[in-house]
Structure 1
């Protein structure tokens, strides 16, 4: 699956996600850029995929700079920004790209995310020519494919211009999600003998390369991301943002299917609140507040019912996200299966409330065993599934630290309450019974 990566770090750096708020300033800067500077350069990759050849091209008809769409990325339905970005598809590539990239006609051109524009054309022999462009000032931009839709295990072409203005383009293998696991000069992209090219034309960066596939390329999962810092010693920094989507490379359709990051965040937030906070708190109450009868019972029922609602919403949103993603892997299937299993355990706990026998019933001890252990099992798998979901969703350190802190607080509270309960029971056992003697008559 392709990974599209782009950096737009103005001085001061303007994050691409908030790019639409900087449109007036950006247009002024770009206008001055076109009027006085507007350098056009391109570079071809050498045998080691390290582009070092620079050629200057002085043209006065560079493309205009346009803002992204109102929802934060281009290619969404409706809006004038997408239509304006489509006008950039009319840019004459021959003015700044070398053959064969500048001479290819009939390429499909689609705005896909933020200021990213993808041009591509597949020949009958399954050779795919790809040209990615986006607004650029510094950092790196890349594009790659993955077998299962995940970032880990994918291969990417990455291009950038270093601080000296030298162009660089390399293939990387994304062995994992950490920067140290992004390996240069490795990967499984079927590159042809045509050297890849990275070029600057006005404020846009263009990265062009050719791939030869064994069969026709149609629907393909794609990851979009960008990093703001220029690579040092060819080591890529962690991406600042990314987008997962499914692109249709079939001739004439070229549909883009977005997987909303907001939908994924809502799924994670609901899961953490439901199975990571509310349900554990509700389970603590009956163990350590039994002396507050019947207050503990009503608190336990209300809190667990609220946790069940959060858990149900988490599963429903997860199913919707699973169907939208349209990419199935063993980790995703495991996460989905565990989530449904926890939901079943939660439903059984709700049924236990209505089937609760009386205290003097002979089967009450079996009900207690069933209710306690099914609840503990649900909490254990809930915590396990939260961690697995973070791994699948490539959650940032904020998510991991936040949930780790929450889990630590809950475990610390349980330990403290357990020690206090043990001391209280121990004191009761050690205290000798007191006898009240009747006075002698």
Structure 2
């Protein structure tokens, strides 16, 4: 049985290798052109073929984007002096109403670009495009600037509206369509210093905020609500609660800081709702820190107002935190298992809370019954530790 599985596995690997080769190096162009180097780009079903001529510093490229409809534009670009979209020197393929494809150059100067036709910062002596069986291929000759051979690259696909390119989507594949290419070595990175670090910061931002606002904050509130009903947990529950919420706040501030940095590095890309909720969470979380500093004694006559303030802000932070985690997951668009994992954590916390809530009320009712039987003297002993009327306070 093991030999059969190994045999099938070898067949599968062989098919994958052959499929990859057919997609890239073995692809047959309609003009019978042969390119010495070819790389399959990591996202958006795109491939880059080229011949580099060191004698005159030019490169013949063929950018191939598969599965493109007749109402979509495609583009591939080099960014000579920067990273990402702004500053990209693009080769654009735009479909015409008669089914043909028009090729032209466009220098991208901002995020609001409509890919208008314009010259590039380097010469492009020849450019054309064609559609073949659902693939769009852009052919061009580039005069590489300043004798350089290694560049940042960007590629995209988007819809056409009224005969002109419209803004592309902001899904994970679109955001990750950045990388590097070296026309001499034939190496093409999947992001590295261009998109890789940005993606890493996005993931770091997401993890920090999911752990802080989305997990630790609810856990800290559960500690305050359910542990303090047990006599043996006094005063340990308070210090556990403070430690949990302080950690959550510290990690949350770090996540908030990475979000601000991401926003400044992604000019033109706005997630208004996610950003506004994040700012609100930071403000409310900071108010909770002040709540700890302004905490009144349990027998203070204004303690009831502090309880309302602390509980109201706490529940608001938990609700907004969980909401914003889901907003962030929609933006990052990771594999579904990560969203399912977070949902599983929330369901587990909710189940534990439901069990503890029922058990807590059972203890509270029994304790009140004992207090009635013992009279005023016994009641005072409980009240001093906050078991009775103080139970309803939330963290």
**TM-score interval (norm. to shorter):** 0.5 to 0.7
Distance in 2 (alpha carbons) for counterparts of 1:414 and 1:357: 27
How far is the alpha carbon of 1:87 from its aligned partner? 3.4
1:264–1:321: 8 Å Cα contact kept in structure 2? yes
Distance in 1 (alpha carbons) for counterparts of 2:210 and 2:157: 42
1:270–1:313: 8 Å Cα contact kept in structure 2? yes
1:109–1:119: 8 Å Cα contact kept in structure 2? yes
Say if 2:176 is the partner of 1:243.
Answer: yes
Give structure 2 stretches of 5+ with no counterpart.
1-11, 44-48, 65-74, 94-100, 106-110, 115-129, 140-154, 180-192, 376-395
Which deviations, in whole Å up to 9, do the C-alpha atoms of 1:91-141 show, x marking residues without a partner? 276xx9xxxxxxxxxx9962899xxx986179xxxx97269xxxxxxxxxx
Match of 2:218 in 1: 280
Looking at secondary structure, tell me which structure has more helix per residue. Answer: 2
Closer, same or farther: CA 313–282 of 1 in aligned 2, 3 Å = same
How far is the alpha carbon of 1:319 from its aligned partner? 1.0
Equivalent position to 2:348, from 392, 402, 409: 409
How far is the alpha carbon of 1:361 from its aligned partner? 1.5
Closer, same or farther: CA 91–397 of 1 in aligned 2, 3 Å = same
How far is the alpha carbon of 1:368 from its aligned partner? 1.1
Distance in 1 (alpha carbons) for counterparts of 2:51 and 2:262: 29
Equivalent position to 2:235, from 271, 289, 294: 294
Say if 2:208 is the partner of 1:270.
Answer: yes
Match of 2:134 in 1: 169
Closer, same or farther: CA 85–416 of 1 in aligned 2, 3 Å = farther
Match of 1:230 in 2: none
Say if 2:247 is the partner of 1:306.
Answer: yes
Q: Given the two structures, how large is their TM-score scaled by the length of structure 1?
A: 0.50
The DSSP-based 3-state class of the residue aligned with 2:134 is strand
Greater Cα shift, 388-397 or 337-346:
388-397
2:172–2:333: 8 Å Cα contact kept in structure 1? no
Equivalent position to 2:29, from 41, 50, 61: 41
2:78–2:89: 8 Å Cα contact kept in structure 1? yes
Which deviations, in whole Å up to 9, do the C-alpha atoms of 1:181-232 show, x marking residues without a partner? xxxxxxxxxxxxxxx6589xxxxxx9999x89999x9xx8786977xxxxxx
Say if 2:328 is the partner of 1:389.
Answer: yes
Closer, same or farther: CA 274–109 of 1 in aligned 2, 3 Å = closer
Distance in 2 (alpha carbons) for counterparts of 1:208 and 1:423: 60
How far is the alpha carbon of 1:379 from its aligned partner? 0.5
Distance in 2 (alpha carbons) for counterparts of 1:298 and 1:208: 54
The DSSP-based 3-state class of the residue aligned with 1:90 is strand
Say if 2:360 is the partner of 1:421.
Answer: yes
Distance in 2 (alpha carbons) for counterparts of 1:319 and 1:13: 42
The DSSP-based 3-state class of the residue aligned with 2:304 is helix
Closer, same or farther: CA 356–62 of 1 in aligned 2, 3 Å = same
Match of 1:120 in 2: 91
The DSSP-based 3-state class of the residue aligned with 2:91 is strand
Say if 2:84 is the partner of 1:110.
Answer: no
How far is the alpha carbon of 1:326 from its aligned partner? 1.5
RMSD (Å) for aligned C-alpha atoms: 5.0
Structure-to-structure mapping, 1:323-402, within 5 angstroms: 323-329=264-270, 332-402=271-341
Distance in 1 (alpha carbons) for counterparts of 2:334 and 2:15: 27
The DSSP-based 3-state class of the residue aligned with 1:305 is helix
The DSSP-based 3-state class of the residue aligned with 2:133 is strand
Closer, same or farther: CA 325–10 of 1 in aligned 2, 3 Å = farther
Distance in 1 (alpha carbons) for counterparts of 2:104 and 2:171: 15
How many residue pairs get aligned? The number is 277
Match of 2:185 in 1: none
Distance in 2 (alpha carbons) for counterparts of 1:411 and 1:262: 31
Match of 1:433 in 2: 373
Give structure 1 stretches of 5+ with no counterpart.
1-8, 15-25, 43-56, 74-83, 97-106, 132-145, 150-158, 161-166, 171-195, 200-205, 227-240, 247-255, 436-441
1:224–1:242: 8 Å Cα contact kept in structure 2? yes
Distance in 2 (alpha carbons) for counterparts of 1:326 and 1:283: 37
Higher relative CO (Cα under 8 Å, sequence separation at least 6) belongs to 1
Distance in 1 (alpha carbons) for counterparts of 2:248 and 2:156: 49
1:275–1:382: 8 Å Cα contact kept in structure 2? yes
Distance in 2 (alpha carbons) for counterparts of 1:128 and 1:86: 23
2:274–2:327: 8 Å Cα contact kept in structure 1? yes
